[in-house]
């Protein structure tokens, strides 16, 4: 089964339409061909798309336009930022940094002291809707068990 996938549809607009149109077609095709529901988040970055998908569960669609990214992210908990686990969240929350809006008001140096240089920089960027990770094509072959 596929639990999660990312698609870069920038080059498909002319053929298939807007990201929203493509997302709706994808959901319909999954339902038609498998009988399963799926949630889809569409956004300019993987991070924001993942958050949108999570918020649209169990069977929804949420599209975050690039211009709406800041407003979408601001009220979210720091725990919603990709890679922020319980320890990092505690480190931030103990400093009064509870939401993405709080992260935006915090100097990067403070985040780096609280979380370490790499994680501090990552959180600072994700809060601003920046995610440099590209959508890559990888295929992991899974064995099929026989009972």
Distance, CA of 51 to CA of 133 (rounded, Å): 15
4 catalytic residue (yes or no): yes
CA atoms within 13 A on the CB side of 104: 14
Q: Among candidates 28, 25, 27, which has minimal Cα distance to 15?
A: 25
Q: Which of the following is catalytic: 4, 33, 141, 147?
A: 4
Distant-in-sequence, close-in-space partners of 70: CB < 8 Å, separation ≥ 6: 128, 129
Q: How far is CA 119 from CA 77, 87, 88, 101, 135, in A?
A: 16, 12, 9, 17, 21
Catalytic residues: 4
């Amino acid at each position: 089964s596929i639990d999660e996938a990312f698609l870069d549809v920038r080059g498909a607009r002319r053929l298939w339409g807007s990201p929203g149109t493509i997302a709706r077609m994808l959901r319909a095709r999954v339902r038609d061909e498998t009988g399963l529901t799926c949630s889809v988040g569409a956004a300019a970055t993987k991070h924001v798309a993942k958050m949108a998908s999570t918020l649209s569960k169990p069977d929804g669609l949420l599209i975050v336009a690039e211009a709406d990214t800041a407003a979408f992210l601001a009220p979210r908990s720091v725990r919603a930022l990709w890679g922020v686990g319980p320890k990092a969240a505690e480190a931030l929350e103990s400093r009064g940094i509870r939401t993405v809006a709080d992260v935006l008001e915090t100097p990067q140096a403070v985040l780096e002291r609280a979380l370490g240089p790499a994680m501090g920089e990552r959180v600072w960027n994700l809060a601003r809707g920046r995610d440099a990770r590209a959508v890559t094509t990888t295929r992991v072959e899974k064995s099929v068990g026989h009972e």
